[in-house]
Amino acid sequence: MNRRAALIIAFFLFAGSTVFVHASSVQAFTDISADYWGQPYISFASESGIVKGYPMEDGSFKFRPDNSVSKEESMQMLYKAATNSGIGPSFSEDLTAKYESRLKEAGIAYWAFECVSYGLENGILEEAELTGFRTGAGDPVPAIREEIARWTGKAIGKKLMPAIALDYADSDRIAAENKPYVDLLNRMKIMIGDDTGKFNPKSPIRRVEFAVICNRVYALSKAEFDIDAESRSLQGTISSVNSSDRNIYLSICSLGENSAKIIHLEDNIQIVINGKLSYNDLSSIPIGKKAVLAWGPYGQLHISTEVVVSKAVIGSLTPLSKECTEAELILGRGDRVYYYISGETFVIDKLMEGQGVIFIADGIKIVEIANTDNSMI
């Protein structure tokens, strides 16, 4: 691969990311040039103690960016990224002793006891997964991209979505249990696809790619709530609903071309149709209608075939950032629905819990809201 092609692929894989680089001098790796696209990420990961180089006989170090990362190494890098950034809990000294016998039984390398124990204790890793860390011959097993997505998603502690609509060309190759985490990391811009639109779920992950992931975990620990990353909205015609597979099929017309989108609904999702709660009733979904489908991490899918204008009582207001608040609204029959009030919302009056309001909503975002003593329009 020539250098220009490598830079193009790097752009698609890592565009839009924040690079954290310490002010101190960068540890030198003899196989990483100053103009290598991954150099800032590698420098950050090295100086943060997340990754180490391979020592050479002459005292120098090599990073070997294209080497695959084993499952043990993955746990070590995630452990360091989570604890050093503060996005995860700190390590407790007695964890290794708690899991030592199980780790020895699975053949886990002694140097990885601490990080694997951390993963087990904090729900990043299941004990049943330990058997896959080593081959029958005792060699370390490379981690694949969908595993990394699952472990990283658990490590960062973000809520998963109640609905999933992946855009990857190879989404059907992603294991069902990993899709919520692939979706999460895509929305958070921690792991995205290549320039062909594929996620490559079964491919091993390279050391340079993991350096990028660790950088983004750090960035996430410093970031405020991002409504665009924490929600999803699609517009089209609902062509069909498969209740057994829990899939909604949406036909989307853009620039004269039709495309199909599959939205998978988790078992515990609540469906809100035109502002009214239909709970888990998929039969209530309006087939053949043009609609906006929108959802966030709080367990509800909003389907709107018309502008939603409704009255409610504010159950709770939860600030998520300086610019965004989650509003729990109680409807007439006691149903509770959830919306975002953002910096773009036109708020007529100061809002308080227990207050009666009238509001206009677009998907899961409130466009305009006022107490019921005032008129918005």
When mean pLDDT is compared across 85-99, 143-157, 260-274, the lowest value belongs to: 85-99
**Average pLDDT for 57-83:** 93
Does residue 298 carry a pLDDT above 60? yes
pLDDT tens column, 166-189: 999 999 999 999 999 999 999 999
Q: DSSP letters along 144-208, please?
A: BHHHHHHHHHHHHTPPPPSEE----TTGGGS-GGGHHHHHHHHHTTSS---TTS---TTSBPBHH
Biggest CA pair distance of the chain: 79
Does residue 5 carry a pLDDT above 80? no
Q: Domain 232-371 has what CATH class?
A: mainly beta
Residue 223 pLDDT class (50, 70, 90 cuts): confident
For the chain, the C-alpha Rg in angstroms (whole number) is 24
Residue-wise over 312-347: b if at least 16 C-beta within 10 A, else e?
bbbeeeeebeeebbbbbbbbeeebebbbbbeeebee
Q: SS3 of 66, please?
A: coil
Does residue 334 carry a pLDDT above 70? yes
Residue 237 pLDDT class (50, 70, 90 cuts): very high
Q: What's the pLDDT score for residue 20?
A: 47
Q: What's the pLDDT score for residue 239?
A: 96
Domain residue extents for the chain:
1-63, 232-371
Q: SS3 of 105, please?
A: helix
* pLDDT-above-90 percentage for the chain: 70
Length of the chain as a residue count: 377
Q: Are strands 290-295 and 232-242 parallel, antiparallel or unpaired?
A: antiparallel
Mean pLDDT, rounded, of the chain: 88
Does residue 225 carry a pLDDT above 80? yes
pLDDT tens column, 125-163: 999 999 999 999 999 999 999 999 999 999 998 999 999
Tokens of 364: 């899961």
Q: What's the pLDDT score for residue 21?
A: 44
Q: What's the pLDDT score for residue 256?
A: 64
- The pTM of the full predicted model, rounded to 2 decimals, is 0.86
Q: What's the pLDDT score for residue 93?
A: 77
Tokens of 230: 């924490």
Q: DSSP letters along 267-313, please?
A: TT-EEEETTEE-TT-GGGS-TT-EEEEEE-TTSEEEEESS-EEEEEE
pLDDT tens column, 343-355: 889 987 789 999 9
Q: Are 183 and 123 spatial neighbours (Cβ–Cβ below 8 Å)?
A: no
Q: Are strands 336-342 and 232-242 parallel, antiparallel or unpaired?
A: unpaired
Q: Are 53 and 61 spatial neighbours (Cβ–Cβ below 8 Å)?
A: yes
Tokens of 119: 């993963």
Q: What's the pLDDT score for residue 169?
A: 93
pLDDT tens column, 202-218: 999 999 999 999 999 98
Q: What's the pLDDT score for residue 176?
A: 94
When mean pLDDT is compared across 11-25, 221-235, 316-330, the lowest value belongs to: 11-25
pLDDT tens column, 26-59: 458 999 999 999 999 999 999 888 888 889 999 8
Q: What dihedral do alpha carbons 250, 254, 256, 262 form, nearest 10°?
A: -20
Residue 374 pLDDT class (50, 70, 90 cuts): low
What is the DSSP secondary structure assignment for residue 349, as one 8-state letter? S
pLDDT tens column, 307-332: 999 999 999 999 998 889 999 999 98
